[in-house]
Amino acid sequence: MTNSVLPQSAREPVTGGTEHMRDFRKALGPWLKPKIIVGGTFVLLLCFMGVFSPLISPYDPNAQNLLNTLQPPGWWAGENFLGTDHVGRDILSRIFFGARISLIIAITVVLISGVVGVALGAISGYFAGHIDFGIQKLVEVVWAFPPLLLAIAIVAFFGQSLIILIVALVVQRWIPYCRVARGQALSLRTRDFVDAARSLGASNGRIIGVHILPNLLQAALVIGTFAMASAIISEASLSFLGLGVPPEIPTWGSMLADGRTYISTSWWLALFPGLCIFFTVLGINMLGDGMRDIFDPRLKRSGTGTG
């Protein structure tokens, strides 16, 4: 075993508190890159808005006031910081609640598709043979559909609801996880530690769960961050087409869709949700890019990575 694969702690013996601090700073170093800090800040902001939206929203996001429609942003001086929409709802409150929906959709879609994709990929790669063939055929069939069209078809057929929207987005999003996990599992199944476990009488389930899956998580984490951005964009696209969540649930995509009717006369209706989508997706992508730099072994070897 070469020194480079040993954990940091194994290579440098601990001699006191200063060394601990040095190790901590060294370990933290790669995470302090600008793209991770900026991206992480946007993601944290999204999480904050999503989690605390009922507390920080000045108004009920669905409360209408027909006597106060299409009011421009009042900023600090006015009643409505970012103005009101065509039925007099407060745009800032809807943005906060929209963040909640984006967050719920992004996390749920990534978790479900990650679990399904990694599990199927691990099974496919570990068992190989007929099981691998069957799973990969399923992957090819599902992958053949254009993603947005498939989601539109599902929502159009089953109707609008948050659960159906999540299902529509998950249907294809597990595939990248599955493909990457399968490739890695194919390689891992012939490694010595897997043979050792097998010779000690470990069951297939235990080998997959204890020895294979932990080695697939880093790649899944990187795919997951990019998939979050893509799930948010897809939700916004479906909501923009009127096929997202039901109209009474505020989402950035539906706000953008409503705002387009007034884009030349009341710009604030479309601008603010549009900016939210832009910065959230930018932030998640920057964070994902930074995490890939840390975890991707190829980048580590070529020296472009930071790990």
Partner 1 sequence: MKLGTRIMGAGFATAALMTAAAMVSPVDAKTRVAVGATETISSHNPHGDSISMGYGIWCQVYGCLGFFDFKTGSYKGMLAERWEIDKKDPNVWTFYLRKGLKRHNDGKELTSADVVHSFWRMKNDPQSRQTQNVKHVAKTEALDKYTVRVTTKKPTAPLLEFLFDRVMITSKDLYDKHGSKIADRKHPWGWGPYKLKKIEIGQRIVLEKDPGNRWASKSMPDELMFRVMREAEQRVTALLNKEIQIAQFIPPHLASRIAKSKNANLVPTSSVELMFLAMSPKHKPWDNATLRKAVCHAINRDAIIKAILKGQANRLDAPIGQGQYGYDPEAAKKMKVEYDVAKGKALLKKAGMVGLKVELHTPVGRYVNDKQVTESMIPMLKAIGLDARLKTPEWATLWANVQKGKVPFFYMGRGGVVDPSPAFAQYFETNGSPRIGFSNANVDRLLQKERATFDPEARKKVLNQAFAEIVKHQPACFMWRHKLLYGIAKNVSYKPTPTGRIWGYAISVK
How many residues contact partner 1, by CB under 8 A? 25
Residue closer to partner 1, measured from CB, 47 or 87:
87
In the list 58, 134, 146, 246, the residue contacting partner 1 (rule: CB under 8 A) is 246
Contact present, 42 and 49 (Cβ < 8 Å)? no
Q: Which residue, 70 or 138, has its beta carbon nearer to partner 1?
A: 70
Considering the rule CB under 8 A, would residue 271 count as an interface residue with partner 1? no
Angstrom CA distances, 237 to 48, 144, 230, stand at 23, 20, 10
For residue 4, with 0-12 CB atoms within 10 Å meaning exposed, 13-18 middle and 19 or more buried, which class applies? exposed
**By the rule CB under 8 A, 69 interacts with partner 1:** yes
Please identify which residue in the block is written with the tokens 């901590």.
24
Burial of 199 (0-12, 13-18, 19+ CB in 10 A): exposed
Give me the amino acid identity at 208: I
Q: Which of 67, 77, 141, 200 binds partner 1 (CB under 8 A)?
A: 67
Q: Which residue of 260, 297, 304, 307 would you call a contact of partner 1, by CB under 8 A?
A: 260
> Is the Cβ of residue 87 or residue 116 nearer to partner 1 in the bound state?
87
Token pair belonging to 221:
């984490």
264 is a site residue for partner 1 (CB under 8 A) = yes
CA atoms in the 13 A half-sphere facing the CB of 116 = 17
Residue 84 pairs in a beta bridge with: 90
The nearest distance, CB 90 to partner 1, in angstroms, is 14
Out of 73, 74, 147, 247, the residue judged to bind partner 1 by CB under 8 A: 247
- DSSP state string for 192-221: HHHHHHHHTT--HHHIIIIIIHHHHHHHHH
Instruction: Please report, as residue ranges, which positions from 113 to 172 form the binding site for partner 1 (by CB under 8 A).
Output: 156, 160
Task: Assess 262 for contact with partner 1 (CB under 8 A).
Answer: yes
Interface residue list for partner 1 (CB under 8 A):
62-64, 66-67, 69-70, 86-88, 156, 160, 242-243, 246-248, 258, 260-266
